[in-house]
Amino acid sequence: MYCILELKGISKSFKGTKIIDHVNLGVFKGEKHALIGPNGAGKTTLFNLITGKYRPTRGSIIFKEKRIDRYSIYRITQQGIARSFQVTNIFKDMTVYENLRNAVVSRYNCNLSLFPLLNNMDFIDKRVDYFLGKINLVALKHEKAGTLSYGQQRALEMGIAIALEPELVLLDEPTAGMTKEETIEVMELIKQIIENKTMIIIEHDMEVVFNLADRISVLHYGRIIATGTPVEIKQNKQVKDAYLGGLFE
């Protein structure tokens, strides 16, 4: 199988404190990979390293056989990586349509302000409408993003990520703060939008994790202590002791 993303000996320290400690991880093309672990384990830091917000203290990050750990955030996005955030990250004063249009315009490097061609505008409109349909927000396209429910805002944020048409999508706790009903809806939405894509998801809801993931990696005090299928992770004694406890007994 083709490994689309490889983390090789990745470490990250802040003011002498090591947050990520020699992490090795491979994610296969088309795989749905979950990253779990207790609060403070370093999961979001790992996402920030992959997406260029931080640079590793040591090690290398390889995406599609190209080293990217010294690239800017923008350049990494252009390579085909997009993410959602633990805290909703949308333009709340813009409409739903405008939020998605910004992502589509960025994806195709279009300048819509200077004598745009009509066929360019038509293309952009069609792409935005397509992504509105994917996230079930067609009826709310002209509403300000800040007026949406929490679950709808999270759906919009994921829509913005997929509107960049990435090969790898990183989702950081997409169901955090949701009710049981909202979680079920978002889980179904995730299944739709990541079809034919590679995904890494950080998530504390184990029902979501074990429903979505092909493989799971467990991060504990900055180290990956296990990687395996959901069945293997459920049965792993070290994982039970460190994180899952008696959850699946």
Q: What is the mean pLDDT of residues 86-112?
A: 81
Min mean pLDDT across 54-63, 98-107, 135-144 is at 98-107
DSSP 136-184: T-GGGTTSBGGGS-HHHHHHHHHHHHHHT--SEEEEESTTTT--HHHHH
pLDDT on residue 248: 46
Q: Where are the domains of the chain?
A: 91-156
User: What is the rounded CA–CA span in Å between residue 85 and residue 44?
Assistant: 9
Tokens representing 175 are 């169901």
The model carries a pTM of 0.88
With residue 107 as reference, give the H or E element that holds it: helix 96-108
Tokens representing 236 are 């792993």
User: Is the pLDDT reported for residue 179 higher than 90?
Assistant: no
Residues paired with 181 in a beta bridge: none
- The Cβ of residue 192 has, within 10 Å, a number of other Cβ atoms equal to 12
Q: CB neighbours of 133 closer than 8 A, spacing ≥ 6?
A: none
User: Is the pLDDT reported for residue 90 higher than 60?
Assistant: yes
Residues in the chain: 249
pLDDT in tens, 22-32: 999 999 999 99
- Three-state SS at 231: helix
User: Is the pLDDT reported for residue 117 higher than 50?
Assistant: no
